[in-house]
Amino acid sequence: MSKAENRRDFIGKMALLAGGLVLSGPYTALIAGVNGKKPRYKVAVIDLMLLKRQKLGAFELSKQIGADGLELDMGGLGTRDTFDNKLADPMLRQQFMDKAKELGLKVCSLAMTGFYAQSLATRPTYQQMIGDCIATMKAMKVKVAFLPLGVQGDLVKNPGLRPALVERLKVAGKMAEAAGVVIGIETALDAKAELQLLKDIGSGAIKSYFNFSNAIKNGRDVSTELRILGKKNIIQIHCTNDDGVWLENDPKIDLKAIRKTLDDMGWRGWLVVERSRDAKDPRNVKWNFTANTKYVKSVFQ
């Protein structure tokens, strides 16, 4: 066989492989170069759940766990006017950005977890809080924020809060639009109700930050919920269930079926591992998150 024929044969094989086979090792970069596309799914962990909230060591631990990136928390809230955000310090923020670059990790999102226990509907300084988060996003070149409506903003238990939350999320949407970022909200609603909430807010900068566990613990099918919300309305996904067993051992969640659903939808983005710690040793952060990250990658990458 001539050199030209050898080359054509090689290119043909590479194109075939790029069409659907998953490779590892030195072939990965080669195939990525052939199809010219970034991976459809990336896997991240959360500094808060690694017990390293706004700590530089979260990056090294994330790398050891095998994650592609990290969701950073904005810091505690309590009764403060805004988050206890160490990343507002330019020097410290640069250290975080440098460490991420050094380790080849991405900050996939900033999380306003202070709203898990606080009320977006009633806090008088909510615009300051969201503004501080957006300012940090812009400084770190992060495009997505996570905003849970939390216990006090549970619209299933407190439907009367809906008008106030819609109005405040409209304001948040305008702030995010002006900055060129997206805020992903997590609610207790089913997919149909959440889709209607997004329509009522009416901002392309407010989307769903979907959490598998919300559907599972309420007896809803994850894949059905994802399809109802639709590709364009889901910005990121918390790929997790309640603690007790690892994802690979959880009979309530079928990641392979979910992968097929997301493939069919044409969705791509970050899958962020939040919980699903084994009850035998829930405090063993590295053990639990390494196992879950490895399994999610084995299914989605």
Q: Give the DSSP letter string of 64-119.
A: HHT-SEEEEE----TTSSS---GGGSHHHHHHHHHHHHHHT-EEEEEE-GGGGTS-
pLDDT score for 8: 47
- Mean pLDDT (10-residue bins), the chain, 301 residues: 49 42 37 58 98 98 98 95 97 98 98 95 96 98 97 94 98 98 97 98 98 96 98 98 95 97 98 95 96 98 95
Could you tell me if 70 and 107 are in contact, meaning their C-beta atoms sit under 8 angstroms apart? yes
Reduced to 3 states, what is the DSSP secondary structure of residue 132?
Answer: helix
**pLDDT for residue 38:** 81
Q: Does domain 39-300 match CATH 3.20.20.150? A: yes
Query: Residue 246: CB partners within 8 Å, gap ≥ 6?
Result: 276, 277, 278, 288, 291, 292, 295
The per-residue pLDDT for 296 is 98
Provide the whole-model pTM. Answer: 0.87
pLDDT of residue 25: 38
Q: Give the Å distances, CA to CA, from 83 to 80, 129, 137, 191, 247.
A: 7, 6, 14, 30, 32
Q: How many residues does the chain have?
A: 301
CA distances from 275 to 30, 43, 93, 126, 234 (A): 34, 14, 26, 27, 20
Instruction: Tell me the two tokens of residue 223.
Output: 């894949």
